[in-house]
Structure 1
Amino acid sequence: MIETGTKAPAFSLPDQNGVMRTLEEYKGKKVILYFYPKDNTPGCTKQACSFGELYPQFQEKGAVVLGVSKDSVASHKRFEEKYGLPFTLLSDTELTCIKAYDVWQEKMNYGKVSMGVVRTTYLIDEDGVIVKAFGKVKAEENPAQMLEQL
């Protein structure tokens, strides 16, 4: 996990509509950047839907929510449409952003060790500096936890 007080690594990734997005374009806003393992899985769906429900409150506090996984643009589009998600999902199939934010790690699943995305959320301030970092977050609790941090 990246230390707080560190400049957030820049990225350029396609969103669920195939539009390239960069961290730079959100300068002047707080950014909730959350990394999750996979679209349409139980924990990831709960987390995304909770962020969606609280999204108006994030907007009121001047924050944007960006979800990142290694799923494809098409997968993100289906995920967004299925659950009516009001925020941006970024596709990182090359793992560039995922690795830059140090969330590609060894995971233990049913006794097997494999590499994967560790559910992690960063709060980035208006100047692009990481002010909070939460690793191994609980999917359901994370959105409310992040709202409290704003």
Structure 2
Amino acid sequence: MSVVEIGKPAPGFELHDQSENLYRLSDCLGRWVVLFFYPKDNTPGCTAEVCDFNCEYDGLQTLQVELLGISTDSRRSHQKFAEKHQLKFPILSDREGRVALAYGSLFRLGPFKVAKRDSFIINPQGDIAAIYRSVKAKGHGRFMYEELQKIMAGG
């Protein structure tokens, strides 16, 4: 398992979103990135968290921030989830849990691999700027928006 640290390069990845688009972290160089892992589509906590991020999406776009959600659910599950909640941003499918593992955000539940509720802010150089572990689902999108504003302002 990789250990991510503030100031160190963020682990790269290539994953597909709910619309079959391929996302590479390397394509986000030059932009701030909010990367959040969540356990499962259509569960109460995860739905609250993802919908909260959806509410903050326009503000993040104004700041020119890339917002990416990741779970170990299938693309089909993500597609239904995104349609149901009219998500404005990509949610990426990490079926094998490799990306979650690289970020120290993988939990094993018997034979199942599930992402922990962790979030990361990645700077335009591709380095980890902030790490948030085991976050509360409700209000997390707003919290991350406010944290990002502080970090971008240099504080």
Taking structure 2 as the reference length, the TM-score comes to 0.88
1:22 matched to which residue of 2?
24
Counterpart-to-counterpart distance in 1, 2:121 and 2:14: 18
1:81 matched to which residue of 2?
83
Structure-to-structure mapping, 1:1-150, within 5 angstroms: 2-105=4-107, 116-150=114-148
The one-letter code of the counterpart of 2:128 is I
Counterpart-to-counterpart distance in 1, 2:113 and 2:69: 19
Q: Is the 8 A contact 2:40 2:114 kept in 1?
A: no
Counterpart-to-counterpart distance in 2, 1:115 and 1:97: 11
Measured after TM superposition, the shift of residue 46 of structure 1 is 0.4
Counterpart-to-counterpart distance in 1, 2:98 and 2:114: 13
Counterpart-to-counterpart distance in 2, 1:115 and 1:31: 24
> What is the Cα-based RMSD across aligned positions, in Å?
1.6
Measured after TM superposition, the shift of residue 2 of structure 1 is 2.0
Counterpart-to-counterpart distance in 1, 2:145 and 2:45: 19
Counterpart-to-counterpart distance in 1, 2:49 and 2:35: 13
Counterpart-to-counterpart distance in 2, 1:145 and 1:79: 23
Counterpart-to-counterpart distance in 2, 1:92 and 1:36: 11
The one-letter code of the counterpart of 2:30 is G
Unmatched segments (≥5 aa) in structure 1: none
Q: Secondary structure at the match of 1:33?
A: strand
Measured after TM superposition, the shift of residue 115 of structure 1 is 5.9
Q: Secondary structure at the match of 2:15?
A: strand
